[in-house]
Structure 1
Amino acid sequence: MRRVLIANRGAVAARAVETFRSLGWSPITVAAMSDPQQLHTVDADGCEYLDGEGLAETYDHVGRIVAAAVRCGAAAVHPGYGALAEDPELPERLAAVGIDFIGPSAQVLSAARDKEHAVAAAGRLGLPVLPHATGYEDITALVKEIGLPVILKPVNGCGGLGVRILRTEAQAQEALALVARDRGARWYAERYVERGQVVGVTVAVDAAGTVAALGERESLLVEGSMKLLEASPVERVAPGLLERMRADSARLVTGMGLRNVATVEFIVGPAGHYFLEVNGRLPLAYRMCEAQTGTDLIALQVELAGGALLAPGRITADRSVHCLEARLFLGGPGRVERLDLAPEAGVTYNCALDVTRPVVLDNIVTQVLATGGGRGRVAGAVLRAVEGSRITGVTHCSEEIAACLRESGLVPDRLGSHALGV
């Protein structure tokens, strides 16, 4: 039996344990010794414990993950989603010790993670890109040329960390002073699209470069760097424009030599769509893709990593299946006193939170996924599930999600709701 190290935590790690066991693999998990939340390790065949404090020293520390894989005799590592899954150093160092990485190559991850390189690749391949610049002098010139607003990002940033939206001259001067001081870091800036619609297109790519569509979704609520609500199929973008985004996504991933599962993100504004970034990993919204394709995405990643080819028509996205997913993020460390998830027809929860132990790292309390036959129906189901659930002891984003669904007009008043438990 082949052994796999699942280099993640929480619900996605618990789900990976389930998938790998069904495939006949022996799943081994990791857990930070400083992390009280270890429910994801319960059903695994073993656990490798990581020294250190915080994500950077534990779950996202490439050296400690590689050492754990060697210790347990893993044949492969599955990184789930997050910063580690997009770190090119991980597949590079695993290859050096003869361990497979279930994901794209180090070279492709390096190009995808670097915003300057990814946008340059997109432009070469004919995808529309926003006016952009890298480095203090060029960013200063860009701001003078196109004006504000401008969005500033770390070139190798992940998950929206460090992103700033510059709307005023004062904000621009402060940010440019930061870029000038911090010459050791690399910064990327591009025109900011006000009230833009973010669309993610997820695809699978086999060893021969054959692309299969795994579905698209649009963001309904984004707070900071966190997508709190996503929906599929995409309804806020014209069908012809969406089809161009699908074609652009296929052209980009094949042109970059990307293999396995990836998501290409676009921003849609009044003038059309523009490439934002490409994430060569399992998407956070993987369950939405699975609902529309009937395919276990983690199992598909394993197949593709092993060189399997995609038979024509084997995977299709059924866009008549409507999905809406809410993500209840914790606002900070604390102890969850109560977590009662309301049963609701058409709703499934993805949660691996141990309410008997404190939370010390950022966490998703749960993912609330509704599937059904229309946007209003699934929105109503998610609203009732969120408002009917009881989460106490920590701050979370249930109220923001409920308010967004109510104010969006997606949920008819006749559907009713419960009092929000906070």
Structure 2
Amino acid sequence: MFKKILIANRGEIACRVIKTARKMGIKTVAVYSEADREALHVQMADEAVFIGPAPTAQSYLVMERIVQACKDTGAEAVHPGYGFLSENKAFQEALAKAGIAFIGPDAYAIEAMGDKITSKKLAAEAGVSTVPGYMGIIKDADEAVKIASQIGYPVMIKASAGGGGKGMRVAWNDDEARDGFERSTSEARSSFGDDRVFIEKFVEQPRHIEIQVLSDGDNCLYLVERECSIQRRHQKVIEEAPSPFLDDATRKAMGEQAVALAKAVQYKSAGTVEFIVDAHRNFYFLEMNTRLQVEHPVTELITGLDLVEWMIKIAAGQQLTLQQSDVTITGWAMESRIYAEDPYRNFLPSTGRLVRYLPPAESDSVRVDTGVYEGGEISMFYDPMIAKLITYGADRNEAILHMRTALDQFYIRGVSHNIPFLASLLGKQRFVDGRLTTNFIAEEYKDGFNATDLPPEDPTVLVCVAATINHLEQVRAAQISNQMSGHGRQVGADYVVKFGDDVYHPVSISYDAKDGQWTVKTETASHTVESDWIFGQPLWVGTINGQVSVVQVDRAKKGIGYQLFHQGSAADVKVLEPRAAQLDKLMPVKLPPDMSRYLLSPMPGLLVSVDVVDGQEIKAGEKLAVVEAMKMENVLRAEQDGKVKKVHAAAGGSLAVDQIIIEFE
């Protein structure tokens, strides 16, 4: 077994590999860029080597520096994680030349499966079901239209060297096929330096289901499947294992075909064969990922296997001690990807410091894989993932219940995050029923995500929590010493819980010290509340009518009251005495300022360029500025004709969210 390995990655996957290596008694070496000097994976590793500036092209993608780091530290093997150099044939060959083991497959498998056209040809030769299509080189748009017509619309046009949704277009007719070919080749050329594309039949009502394989070169197993259909812009959001759709016969057929493909390329390590599955359980090969997948934890939880451990053992020359009959499905697992992005602003990335970071406690039903910590930075240079939240249950409903509770417990402040969106997804009846397709998000959120998409909320939980918090506050105030005689604070029983600007809930509250229970009476029912919450705790955890509830509690940003967060929704809450509530209803509502004359930065980031000057006449759709964040350039355009009054920010400067860039007449 190796004595020391280097992890050629960062963030949560680097931390994940370090945990298993530590369990195996293996020393670890981290590599880091300038932006990651204080990163968690650097702190966790036994050694750390600096490899360059923040941009990935100058650090994590420079294979010569990583090979040299292995030589300098005596690392015998490299685990590449996912992304970066994990599927780079040249990196595997460079390590082999230096006598360093690559914890992954050989160069041949990486190369064969890395090209979508080659991989589909190999899959067909291995007897794997493939989508009808044309895998040859397409010379121009006219030929693309001809091929698409022969296959039959709709078709999918894909970049051969693609990934992450780049270079992909769906065409429903000749005009869209022509335009899709031109766009896909252009995107492929700029993103991958390879403008080859292929065309295949577009499967309607598709599910994305993948098979985990594990092979030592002789013995190859399939570790059942993962359902990855919940995607936004071809990026996975929620994954689960097993799939709520597959039956045993389909699972076996898919698994055996995945194994056949792995054997065809002499695969040796953990890998994933991805399929698209239609409404009738017909399945077609998509691609093979020759690395560890982001969503591997759900497979680990239902099989009891540590995939990273087996990758290390196989790379060290050990044989699998399992047979296919030993692989079983126990329970259900689900993973939510928690990102630093603002779902209310079209998921724009959010950078900055994690002022508070309190993940839910890990247990048999909750696992958190992360690469961040409280006080750390979410950098603009890398993927905005904060953590992967994985839950486990005896069945799917239990896994969902644990996930919803764990999301309520995940307390993050300082950056925006997608937990409200995840809570909304889990609350959709279609999701609960398991009626999933890769179009789920596009169909359920046709106009984007907004607050109305959150689960319909019975106000009982927040009313009871607000009433009990207020009761504790009144008791504390009544105990203040040296109060003027006859003017001390009295603890009342009747209050009005106010939500936002205009929703009022009359309540009556009493506390039974003997039983440690509150009784909260609303207009419609009486509720029993128990909790040991005290001031300063960010999470109110207790039971309401015997049901466990978790509510995040913050002091109101302005004025008195609280901000309460539950199942993705946020509520500004005040608790008023009845007379105060009567007067409150008469108070005028202060309207927010009119910011329509300003171009505001939609995210924190770098102002790459400002394309207008003071006094310039502009037309609707004209480019005004470009803001860069998380490796993405966002072009800001004029919504209507007008005239620039003043440019408030200069190119090259850093922007805060909602910072004024341009003021219009």
Q: TM-score, normalised by structure 2?
A: 0.59
Q: Partners of 1:83 and 1:338 in 2: how far apart?
A: 29
Task: Please state if 1:364 is matched with 2:385.
Answer: yes
Aligned to 2:230: 221
Q: Partners of 1:139 and 1:112 in 2: how far apart?
A: 24
Summarize the Cα distance change of 1:385–1:180 in structure 2 as closer, same or farther, 3 Å threshold: closer
Summarize the Cα distance change of 1:292–1:265 in structure 2 as closer, same or farther, 3 Å threshold: same
Aligned to 1:349: 368
Aligned to 2:117: 116
Q: Partners of 1:197 and 1:158 in 2: how far apart?
A: 18
Task: Please state if 1:273 is matched with 2:283.
Answer: yes
Aligned to 1:339: 357
Match of 1:176 among 178, 181, 186: 181
- Read off the aligned partner of 1:136 and give its amino acid letter: I
User: 1:93 offset after TM fit, Å?
Assistant: 0.9
Higher helix share: 1
Summarize the Cα distance change of 1:323–1:10 in structure 2 as closer, same or farther, 3 Å threshold: same
Residue range with higher mean Cα deviation, 104-113 or 6-15: 6-15
User: 1:253 offset after TM fit, Å?
Assistant: 0.5
| 1:385 partner SS | helix
Q: Do the aligned residues in 2 keep the contact of 1:376 with 1:410 (CA within 8 Å)?
A: no
Q: Partners of 2:69 and 2:9 in 1: how far apart?
A: 12
Q: Deviations over 1:15-55 (max 9, x none)?
A: 21222233232200011113466111112111111213433
User: 1:193 offset after TM fit, Å?
Assistant: 1.6
Q: Partners of 1:261 and 1:2 in 2: how far apart?
A: 21
Q: Partners of 2:235 and 2:431 in 1: how far apart?
A: 21
Aligned to 2:308: 298
| 1:84 partner SS | coil
User: 1:344 offset after TM fit, Å?
Assistant: 7.8
Q: Do the aligned residues in 1 keep the contact of 2:138 with 2:198 (CA within 8 Å)?
A: no
What does residue range 79-118 of structure 1 map to in structure 2 within 5 Å?
A: 79-118=80-119
Q: Do the aligned residues in 2 keep the contact of 1:233 with 1:320 (CA within 8 Å)?
A: no
Q: Partners of 2:69 and 2:17 in 1: how far apart?
A: 17
Aligned to 2:267: 258
Match of 2:396 among 365, 375, 390: 375
User: 1:410 offset after TM fit, Å?
Assistant: 5.7
Summarize the Cα distance change of 1:340–1:179 in structure 2 as closer, same or farther, 3 Å threshold: closer
Higher strand share: 2
Q: Do the aligned residues in 1 keep the contact of 2:80 with 2:86 (CA within 8 Å)?
A: yes
Q: Partners of 2:324 and 2:199 in 1: how far apart?
A: 40
Q: Partners of 1:329 and 1:296 in 2: how far apart?
A: 25
- Read off the aligned partner of 1:75 and give its amino acid letter: E
Aligned to 2:75: 74
User: 1:406 offset after TM fit, Å?
Assistant: 1.0
| 2:261 partner SS | helix
Aligned to 2:595: none
User: 1:247 offset after TM fit, Å?
Assistant: 0.9
| 2:259 partner SS | helix
User: 1:334 offset after TM fit, Å?
Assistant: 0.9
Q: Deviations over 1:79-108 (max 9, x none)?
A: 112242111111111111111111100111
Summarize the Cα distance change of 1:23–1:224 in structure 2 as closer, same or farther, 3 Å threshold: same
User: 1:127 offset after TM fit, Å?
Assistant: 1.1
Q: Do the aligned residues in 2 keep the contact of 1:260 with 1:301 (CA within 8 Å)?
A: yes
Q: Partners of 1:201 and 1:80 in 2: how far apart?
A: 18
How many aligned residue pairs are there?
421
User: 1:311 offset after TM fit, Å?
Assistant: 3.0
Q: Partners of 2:234 and 2:47 in 1: how far apart?
A: 33
Residue range with higher mean Cα deviation, 331-340 or 101-110: 331-340
| 1:194 partner SS | coil
User: 1:375 offset after TM fit, Å?
Assistant: 0.3
Aligned to 1:406: 427
User: 1:362 offset after TM fit, Å?
Assistant: 1.2
| 2:285 partner SS | strand
Q: Which has the higher contact order (CA 8 A, sep 6+)?
A: 1
The percent identity for this pair of structures is 27
- Read off the aligned partner of 2:250 and give its amino acid letter: L
Q: Partners of 2:569 and 2:375 in 1: how far apart?
A: 19
Summarize the Cα distance change of 1:113–1:292 in structure 2 as closer, same or farther, 3 Å threshold: same
Q: Do the aligned residues in 2 keep the contact of 1:344 with 1:385 (CA within 8 Å)?
A: no
User: 1:225 offset after TM fit, Å?
Assistant: 2.9
Aligned to 1:146: 151
- Read off the aligned partner of 1:254 and give its amino acid letter: K
Summarize the Cα distance change of 1:65–1:101 in structure 2 as closer, same or farther, 3 Å threshold: same
Summarize the Cα distance change of 1:406–1:139 in structure 2 as closer, same or farther, 3 Å threshold: same
Q: Partners of 1:96 and 1:344 in 2: how far apart?
A: 42
User: 1:179 offset after TM fit, Å?
Assistant: 5.3
| Structure 1: stretches of 5+ with no match in the other structure | none
User: 1:397 offset after TM fit, Å?
Assistant: 2.5
- Read off the aligned partner of 2:9 and give its amino acid letter: N
Q: Deviations over 1:219-264 (max 9, x none)?
A: 2411123211111122212321221101111111011211111111
- Read off the aligned partner of 1:384 and give its amino acid letter: T
User: 1:144 offset after TM fit, Å?
Assistant: 2.4
Task: Please state if 1:391 is matched with 2:412.
Answer: yes
Task: Please state if 1:286 is matched with 2:296.
Answer: yes
Aligned to 1:236: 245
Q: Partners of 1:176 and 1:80 in 2: how far apart?
A: 33
Aligned to 1:164: 169
- Read off the aligned partner of 1:114 and give its amino acid letter: D
Summarize the Cα distance change of 1:393–1:36 in structure 2 as closer, same or farther, 3 Å threshold: farther
RMSD value, Cα: 2.7
Q: Do the aligned residues in 2 keep the contact of 1:86 with 1:109 (CA within 8 Å)?
A: yes
- Read off the aligned partner of 1:358 and give its amino acid letter: E
The structure with more radius of gyration? 2
Q: Deviations over 1:190-236 (max 9, x none)?
A: 2222221111110111132x122323111241112321111112221
Q: Partners of 1:277 and 1:415 in 2: how far apart?
A: 43
Q: Do the aligned residues in 2 keep the contact of 1:104 with 1:258 (CA within 8 Å)?
A: yes
Q: Partners of 1:163 and 1:123 in 2: how far apart?
A: 22
Task: Please state if 1:136 is matched with 2:155.
Answer: no
Q: Partners of 2:266 and 2:127 in 1: how far apart?
A: 16
Residue range with higher mean Cα deviation, 249-258 or 293-302: 293-302
- Read off the aligned partner of 2:387 and give its amino acid letter: T
Residue range with higher mean Cα deviation, 233-242 or 89-98: 233-242
Q: Partners of 2:316 and 2:362 in 1: how far apart?
A: 39
Q: Do the aligned residues in 2 keep the contact of 1:212 with 1:315 (CA within 8 Å)?
A: no
Q: Do the aligned residues in 2 keep the contact of 1:204 with 1:261 (CA within 8 Å)?
A: yes
Q: Do the aligned residues in 2 keep the contact of 1:30 with 1:49 (CA within 8 Å)?
A: yes
Q: TM-score, normalised by structure 1?
A: 0.91
Q: Partners of 1:64 and 1:225 in 2: how far apart?
A: 32
Q: Partners of 1:380 and 1:359 in 2: how far apart?
A: 29
